[in-house]
Amino acid sequence: MKNIFKIISILLFILYACHNDNKKVIVVSNLNTYSISAIVVDKSNTKWIGTSNGLYKSVEGGYSLEDISIPGEVNCVYFEGASNTLWVGTNKGMAKVAINASGISSTVINSTNLSNDTVLTAYVDSSSRRWFGTADDFTLNINTTWKKAKFCYNLLNNLVSLEFEGTSINSIASWNGDYYFATNTFGLYRARNYNDTVDAFTGATQWSTPYNGTAAVDTMFTVFVDSKGRIWMGGTNGVQYHTGHDSKQNITPFLSDLPNPRVHAIAEAKDGKIWVGTENGIAIYDGTNWTTMTAGLANLFITAIAFDSNGSAWVGTQKGLYTVK
């Protein structure tokens, strides 16, 4: 009798672990020993996974380790759709990876072009400017030009450094002319009025009183702009979003709604819901209410979230990759 109850208990646990809010969570077996840093989906619905062991590509039957000419840990991956290119940041520099019918071709970016060899994030704006956050400042690439210092054009018509230049840039995003830089210790910075003639901003302020709206923390891990134009920012003390250009208004913070206050990933599902990855599971926001998803995830430290063309979620953790359908 005891064995029967034990079997029933195990079956119930498996059923619970595989379903959460009618979602089925599946572990990707051949990546379950690696820490996942980034997940991107290209135009052909191929998944590219940045891991502690390098860059992996989804192939029939699993994932293959790709040679990007830089061995070891990957910190970030960004897919630039216009050129069908991946930008892959590592602790030893950055690679530009062209995707073609026969596979990939990788070009290592000259380290002299970068502010620091440890590349933490990549972002391409609507004007095809490429921004790269590193462990020490950020770098801008426009066509063949690289710039890595003095990004502020002041009232005296001089190029000077922004206040947060020289710190780690964890994430970059933009909305309608405003740029957002998530940093260590300096929180979030909003830069505006980009001047193409000098490749610099004419204004930038820290996301704190009295300049911009209040920020939850001094360290921001991620910033994300959703389809409604809401600027989401997450760090060591919750998540909040802002709307519009008036940075002192329309700020909505969330903390108690999350399974953990430390936020490392934010993404938007095809149904418009916002998924927030924390160090203790996922919180999902439907515009009014929050739900928490932890079932089926053997590791709850969420590091990356992405959605494919079929609407399935791909979730990276400190140990393993999961798909949620």
Mean pLDDT of 149-171: 93
Task: Render pLDDT for 93-128 as a digit per residue (tens, 0 to 9).
Answer: 999 999 998 889 999 999 999 999 999 999 999 999
Instruction: Count structural domains, the chain.
Output: 1
Mean pLDDT of 268-280: 97
> Which backbone phi and psi does 11 adopt, to 5 degrees?
-65, -40
Output the pLDDT for position 29: 67
Task: Find the domain containing 16 and state its range.
Answer: 1-31+257-325
Query: What gap in Å lies between CA 291 and CA 269, rounded to an integer?
Result: 14
* Residue 291 within any structural domain of the chain: yes
CATH of the domain at 18: 2.40.10
Query: What gap in Å lies between CA 1 and CA 260, rounded to an integer?
Result: 40
For 87, half-sphere exposure in the C-beta direction (CA atoms, 13 angstrom radius) is: 19
* Residue 320 within any structural domain of the chain: yes
Give the DSSP H or E segment for 16. helix 2-18
316 pLDDT more than 60? yes
3 pLDDT more than 60? no
- Neighbouring residues of 154: CB distance < 8 A, sequence distance ≥ 6: 160, 202
* Residue 304 within any structural domain of the chain: yes
68 pLDDT more than 90? yes
Query: What gap in Å lies between CA 174 and CA 138, rounded to an integer?
Result: 15
Output the pLDDT for position 252: 87
9 pLDDT more than 60? no
* Residue 287 within any structural domain of the chain: yes
For 227, half-sphere exposure in the C-beta direction (CA atoms, 13 angstrom radius) is: 9
Low-confidence winner among 14-18, 35-39, 196-200 (lowest mean pLDDT): 14-18
Query: What gap in Å lies between CA 75 and CA 133, rounded to an integer?
Result: 11
Low-confidence winner among 27-31, 80-84, 85-89, 252-256 (lowest mean pLDDT): 27-31
Q: Confirm if 19 and 295 have CB atoms less than 8 A apart.
A: yes
* Residue 280 within any structural domain of the chain: yes
Q: At 10, is the pLDDT very low, low, confident or very high (cuts 50, 70, 90)? A: very low
Output the pLDDT for position 188: 87
> Which backbone phi and psi does 28 adopt, to 5 degrees?
-85, 105
Max distance between CA atoms of the chain, in angstroms, equals 85
In percent, the amount of the chain with pLDDT more than 90 equals 71
Q: Confirm if 114 and 126 have CB atoms less than 8 A apart.
A: no
15 pLDDT more than 80? no
Output the pLDDT for position 212: 59
Q: Confirm if 180 and 233 have CB atoms less than 8 A apart.
A: yes
274 pLDDT more than 90? yes
Low-confidence winner among 29-43, 259-273, 279-293, 302-316 (lowest mean pLDDT): 29-43
pTM of the model: 0.89
Output the pLDDT for position 5: 36
Output the pLDDT for position 210: 57
* Residue 278 within any structural domain of the chain: yes
Output the pLDDT for position 59: 86
Task: Render pLDDT for 211-235 as a digit per residue (tens, 0 to 9).
Answer: 555 666 668 899 999 999 999 999 9
Sheet strands (E) in 101-259: 103-108, 119-124, 130-134, 138-142, 145-147, 152-153, 159-160, 169-175, 178-183, 188-195, 200-206, 220-225, 231-235, 238-242, 251-254
Q: Which residue is associated with the tokens 């490392």?
A: 264
* Residue 268 within any structural domain of the chain: yes
**Mean of per-residue pLDDT scores for the chain:** 88
* Residue 323 within any structural domain of the chain: yes
14 pLDDT more than 70? no
